[in-house]
Amino acid sequence: MEFWAAAPPAALRRPRSRHDGAMATVLVVEDESDIREVLRRYLERAGHAVLTTGSGAEALRLVATADVDLVVLDLGLPDVEGTDVLGEVRAAGRTPVLVLTARSSVDDRIRGLRMGADDYVTKPFSPAEVVLRVAAILQRTGGPAATTEQGVLVGGRLWIDEARHAMRFDGRELDLTPTEWGILAALSGAPGRVFSRYELVNRVRGYEYAGYERTIDSHVKNLRHKLGPDGATVVETVLGVGYRFGLRTDGS
């Protein structure tokens, strides 16, 4: 498609995968209810079915009986050592595990990965990062679905799949008008670069833009609304000039 002035940087390309990271059943094992619930909310928003427990023993029972696609496992559990849970999940089959750990020593990380964790996140973590890592693990491991998809991740949070004409933000599918798509595609194609309204109108013309320069503002307003609370961060206003994509490509 024409909105990429050039091919996206190699670092933003993601490999072909059988699974797009959506609609998996994720088991969250975490005894701190606040963390458990925030992870549930984020993972559900990303389209996953979420089971939760604060008990290692219950986790093992669920892995054995429920159709779990991935386990998010806190290593510090009250009843069973998290590493024992990890070992048993590993011994039981191929369910991938993302480990949450408050322990930051390199030894623990290496031990966790040696024991078969697919990835780990050190507390405190951002729930959005957990969602992204879950998606990455599901992609690597094949996951439950068998869709072919290719796309790019921009700013660590915006996923653009040109082939399917789909965009997701923090794992949530965006339902965009052609004009909104065109604006976001143009901005995210050159993160940090400022686009004037005139430029944006020209960029989105290919997406059947109907309107004048000044109406870009109302499209941006709707687009931000769809992006959610961080909408104005993603589509940043540059006073007197226009708009730019405000997420840094390293995802911070």
Among 2-10, 69-77, 85-93, 167-175, the segment contacting Ca ion (CB under 5 A):
69-77
Interaction of residue 108 with Ca ion, rule CB under 5 A: no
Q: Which is nearer to Ca ion, 24 or 130 (CB)?
A: 130
Q: Which is nearer to Ca ion, 31 or 213 (CB)?
A: 31
**Within 13 A of 202's CA, how many CA atoms are on the CB side?**
5
User: How far is Cα 139 from Cα 144, in angstroms, rounded to an integer?
Assistant: 10
Q: Which two tokens stand for residue 34?
A: 């606040």
Give the nearest residue (CB) to Ca ion. 76
User: How far is Cα 164 from Cα 162, in angstroms, rounded to an integer?
Assistant: 5
Among 66-74, 170-178, 204-212, 236-244, the segment contacting Ca ion (CB under 5 A):
66-74
CB of 101 to Ca ion, least distance (A): 9
Cis? peptide before 124, omega within 30° of 0: yes
Q: From residue 226, how far is each of 18, 61, 172, 222 by CA, in Å? A: 28, 39, 10, 6
Q: Which of 12, 18, 31, 199 binds Ca ion (CB under 5 A)?
A: 31
Q: Which is nearer to Ca ion, 111 or 197 (CB)?
A: 111
Q: At what angle do helices 82-92 and 106-114 cross, to 10 degrees?
A: 20
Determine the 3-state secondary structure of 164 from DSSP. coil
CB of 102 to Ca ion, least distance (A): 7
Interaction of residue 58 with Ca ion, rule CB under 5 A: no
Q: Which is nearer to Ca ion, 31 or 129 (CB)?
A: 31
Q: Which two tokens stand for residue 238?
A: 């540059």
C-alpha closest to that of 162 among 189, 197, 137 = 189
Q: Which two tokens stand for residue 221?
A: 């307003």
Determine the 3-state secondary structure of 10 from DSSP. helix
Interaction of residue 156 with Ca ion, rule CB under 5 A: no
Among 5-13, 74-82, 108-116, 175-183, the segment contacting Ca ion (CB under 5 A):
74-82
190 φψ region: left (φ > 0), alpha (ψ -120 to 50), beta (else): beta
Among 72-80, 133-141, 166-174, 215-223, the segment contacting Ca ion (CB under 5 A):
72-80
* Binding map of Ca ion across residues 76-105, x = CB under 5 A, - = no contact: x-----------------------------
Interaction of residue 74 with Ca ion, rule CB under 5 A: yes
Contacts with Ca ion by CB under 5 A lie at 31, 74, 76
